[in-house]
């Protein structure tokens, strides 16, 4: 009985003293790879200062990136690309999605913008004309076509600097071993 107890004790001690990899050892700093159904894997470059987590899919083909902080709130999602929808149609859809909110915005007209190249990000920012203390005033929404994926995002903040961090993340996303379109 004592030998058996000693063997179990040694096994337990060995398991608990086994070196565990730290999160930094499991993936390169700032890079995370996630799998998306029908799209393949996407490598995300997420700055350490970007407070985020991967959330369960919700009308998406894989995990969503959610961010929450004192100065911003965002969601980045991935959907499968429909190749029958043109870039112009996607931009028109983006404009029609924000049009109902123009009455409450300072802009009063839609001002489509773009950022980067290959893949280019199309986006629109609206500023709430009825600010309330403690609420985020800027709303930015947009998309980027990246191989067989469409990366969409929504972002609420008070400064353009916060918007830039999301644009940089979407711009740096890379499809790996993407499935054929």
**Residue-wise pLDDT tens digits, 26-42:** 334 579 999 999 899 99
What is the model's pLDDT at position 32?
Answer: 92
**CB-CB neighbours of 111 under 10 Å:** 11
pTM of the entire predicted model: 0.80
What is the model's pLDDT at position 132?
Answer: 82
**Residue-wise pLDDT tens digits, 47-72:** 988 889 999 999 899 999 999 888 88
HSE of 28 in the Cβ direction (CA atoms, 13 Å)?
5
Q: Domains in the chain and their CATH numbers?
A: 30-176 (3.40.1000)
What is the model's pLDDT at position 18?
Answer: 34
Judged by DSSP in three states, 68 sits in strand
14-42: buried (b, 16+ CB within 10 Å) or exposed (e) per residue? eeeeeeeeeeeeeeeeeebeeebeebbeb
**Residue-wise pLDDT tens digits, 104-140:** 999 989 999 999 987 899 999 999 998 788 789 999 9
């Amino acid at each position: 009985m004592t030998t058996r107890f000693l063997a179990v004790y040694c096994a337990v001690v060995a398991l608990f003293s086994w070196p565990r990899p730290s999160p930094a050892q499991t993936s390169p700093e700032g890079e995370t790879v996630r799998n998306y159904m029908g799209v393949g894997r996407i490598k995300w470059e997420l700055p350490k200062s970007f407070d985020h987590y991967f959330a369960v899919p919700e009308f998406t083909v894989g995990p969503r990136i959610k961010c929450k902080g004192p100065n911003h709130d965002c969601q980045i999602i991935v959907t499968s690309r429909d190749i029958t929808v043109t870039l112009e149609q996607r931009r028109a859809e983006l404009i029609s999605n924000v049009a109902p909110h123009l009455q409450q915005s300072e802009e009063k007209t839609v001002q489509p913008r773009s950022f980067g190249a290959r893949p280019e990000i199309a986006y629109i920012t609206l500023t709430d004309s009825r600010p309330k203390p403690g609420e985020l005033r800027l709303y930015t929404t947009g998309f980027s076509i990246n191989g067989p994926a469409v990366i969409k995002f929504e972002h609420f903040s008070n400064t353009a600097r916060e918007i830039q961090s999301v644009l940089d993340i979407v711009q740096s996303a890379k499809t790996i071993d993407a499935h054929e379109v």
